[in-house]
Amino acid sequence: MKLQGKTALITGATGGIGFEVAKHLGAQGAKVIINGLDAEAGAARLKELTDAGVTAEFYQFDVTNEDLVNENVKAIGDKHGIDIVVNNAGGLGGRSRFEVMTTEFYRSVMALNLDSAFFVSRAAIPYLKKGTHPNIINFTSNAGWNAGGPGAGIYGTSKAGVHAITRALAKDLAEYGIRVNAVSPGTIDTDFHKQIKSTKPEVFQSWANNIMLGRLGQPTDVASVVAFLASEDAAFITAETIQIGGGQALGI
């Protein structure tokens, strides 16, 4: 298996794309460390992984809390080492137009999407330096290219920041052989869109109609790309943001 003997830390991995990534990396032989806020969901996902034969552990901590990130990443690194970091945690955080946006809302969305990637990456670097073909994979969004829709502008801004920090980290860490890439999913059929799928199915279907391939992406579509980027098959790929669903790749 391509990731045999490696340890992968995946944040926000108790559901959706993050959990699918954990399953894919585990199936490739990696020891999987999943993170999330919900202890019950974490225990359930952990059982699914171990029942499937994956060596896995769950760590419950808030990736927007610098101290908790440092404490938990150190515990993981000291115990297992870290070869792969997948900064998947993130979210819309709600909607607000800039005119009425509170500073608290602004900071919470930036923390969830951008600060978290910085905190986790920084804490993991000492362990990645000792890893085997180490790499970081960040999650951004198509909103990072188009600035998001009305009320989602700060989400788009935060994800554009993830594009930038991916390139900056790649340049900063290249001398240590640490690769840094990002994936930018299009519209993926997860609980992220659960409400609009159930209340406005015609809108949800229109999204699929506007996608080149005529369908929404599935978490497995994204996870397979992440598994490739995490593997030695991608040993010469760094500072790339791979857009899934739009056919675009942008690098330095």
Backbone angles phi, psi at 180, to 5 degrees: -135, 125
DSSP 205-236: HHHHHTSTTSS-B-HHHHHHHHHHHHSGGGTT
Q: What is the reported pLDDT for 234?
A: 96
Q: Is residue 81 part of a domain?
A: yes
Q: Is residue 26 part of a domain?
A: yes
- For residue 119, the domain's CATH number is 3.40.50.720
Q: Is residue 201 part of a domain?
A: no
Q: Is residue 177 part of a domain?
A: yes
Cα-Cα end-to-end distance for the chain: 31
Residue 17 is part of which domain span?
7-190+219-251
Q: Is residue 198 part of a domain?
A: no
Domains: count for the chain: 1
Q: Is residue 230 part of a domain?
A: yes
Q: Is residue 21 part of a domain?
A: yes
How far is CA 76 from its chain centroid? 18
Q: Is the dihedral of CA 71, 76, 81, 87 positive or negative?
A: negative
Tell me which residues of the chain have a pLDDT lower than 70. Answer: 190-198, 200-204, 206-209, 246-252
The single residue of 59, 106, 127, 155 carrying the catalytic annotation is: 155
Q: Is residue 173 part of a domain?
A: yes
Annotated active-site residue 155? The verdict is yes
Q: What is the reported pLDDT for 204?
A: 58
